[in-house]
Amino acid sequence: MRPQPNPPSNTVHVAGRLVTAAFWFVIGFGAVIVVSIALGLARHGDSLLYGDTLGIPVQLSPADAGRLPHGFRVEGPVDASFTLNDPTTKEMLLRSAQDLGPLALMLAILWQLRGFARSVVGGDPFGAANVGRLRRIGFLVVLGVPIVDILNAPLRAALSDAVPSPPGIDVSVHGFTLSLNTLLVGLAAFVLAEVFAYGSALREDVEATV
Amino acid sequence: MAEHGVVVHLDRLLEERGMTLTELSERVGVTVVNLSILKNGRARAVRFSTLSALCEALDCQPGDLLGYAGS
């Protein structure tokens, strides 16, 4: 470990522990999802996480949102939820499978963040390893989030078959959306990677100065 | 030789003065590790303060300590 001119602050130590705790929490939640699916298979749709009811996110058209006081109006589709009682095994699987993609993505990002936090706590942040981690986080966010959404879209559509279409009410499911915020976070990670690459080069110059 | 082409004649000067790297380190206040980096041509830069201290300890001129062999 390189000598540290300024030892990491307590804030950095706390942040490192929080990232590690988040990582293990997500691992634990992943185990719960697996157990939930197994129980759901054994109990014909009655999973641990969702039980004998499934909340299916849907969207209603503004016209179906109900009467509002004068001056109020609904902008765009309204997010709602349909409660499906006694889901079948297939319906349970369709819902549970939608959790796996985000879980894997979050684990991958937290794994990179954990390594990054450890290097900062160890006083050695400006290295090639962290440049790589930040670039991977950028790719995971910019590409991973839309890919997970694309993979979940047919699962949502298949699950929506269980949602009734009452006469006169227009019900739809969330389609694929590209979030600008997500894109900005990913781009910020790429920019930060270049900052750390420059910092790493500067550090090497300083260390090789006698 | 490093990519910059500067050659450090520290080995020769130490041998001529009958001094070890450790003794030089104690005289100039630079660690043995850093002096090794300098001696083995792995340094990218030398501070003037370090160069002055080396020249004083070795009783030499910068031109005795450093040479240029082309890149």
**pLDDT digit string, tens, across residues A13-37:** 999 999 999 999 999 999 999 999 9
Helix (H, G, I), strand (E, B) or coil at B61: coil
Write the secondary structure of A130-178 as one string of H (helix), E (strand) and C (coil). Answer: HHHHHHHHHHHHHHHHHHHHHHHHHHHHHHHHHCCCCCCCCEECCCCCC
What is the reported pLDDT for A2?
54
B38 — contact with chain A (CB < 8 Å)? yes
B66 — contact with chain A (CB < 8 Å)? no
B33 — contact with chain A (CB < 8 Å)? no
* Residue numbers of chain A with a pLDDT score lower than 50: 1
What is the reported pLDDT for A177?
77
The answer to whether residue B35 scores a pLDDT higher than 70 is yes
The runs of H, that is alpha helices, within B1-71 are: 10-17, 21-28, 32-39, 48-58, 62-65
| Cβ-defined contact of B46 to A210 (cutoff 8 Å) | yes
Complex prediction ipTM: 0.83
**If you ran DSSP here, which 8-state letter would residue B5 be given?**
-
**pLDDT digit string, tens, across residues A132-148:** 999 999 999 999 999 99
CB < 8 Å to B34, chain A: 210
d(CA A121, CA A9): 8
Task: State percent of chain B over pLDDT 70.
Answer: 96
Task: Give how far A123 is from chain B: nearest CA, Å.
Answer: 20
